[in-house]
Chain A
């Protein structure tokens, strides 16, 4: 199985500041034939199910604010919240879908 490791485990950020979350995979999730990274990001607010934010490592899902951006390739990925809002308090997860079983990172808690 591909192991997904996120850092840090938790992050305290002031409102309006930038938040950066890292995700590292134990093997590359870049599919060379289409040059796509098989990685997604989710946001989970307290008491709610996860919500898809980003797929293909950098494509925002429908309705996701543009302050959320994803970057990276191969084994190292980053989710950036450019200007943290109060409603961004949540746990963020990365997921690889390059190979089965699909696996998730352990989560990063963003605190205000």
Chain B
């Protein structure tokens, strides 16, 4: 059974860089049928997609965050990582990683739904 677990500091100072890791256990990490996504949820609010990365390192980012986001993959550890720079209080949220179904054809990939999700980790931005 596929499991995802987010980890990283729960408190980050304003203007610094938020860094999180998602460890994937079970199969499908190296599959070409999936991407691995980051989604966040501010306390009491809705869901916002941050970005997604494939096993081979191909990335898609939300344009609203693209200038501050970097994702990477460590295939030896079955891990994906998220870095979000220049954080402010508005970046306080529960950060989730999730497997994202995808379809690739002719050099283009199309990302779909998220399933399953990790439990999430709360990151608070505060001095």
Enumerate chain A interface residues (CB-CB to B < 8 A).
38, 40, 42, 48-52, 55, 61, 93, 95, 97, 100-107
Contact = CB atoms under 8 A, between A and B. Distances in A.
A101 B112 contact: no
Contact of A104 (B48, B60, B112, B120): B48
Interface of B: 46-49, 60, 62-64, 96, 98, 101, 110-120
Give chain B's interface secondary structure class: strand
Give chain A's interface secondary structure class: loop
A103 B49 CA distance: 7
B113 A52 contact: yes
Contacts of B113: 40, 52, 55, 95, 97
A-B complex: 4 closest residue pairs judged by Cβ atoms: A49-B117, A52-B115, A40-B113, A104-B47
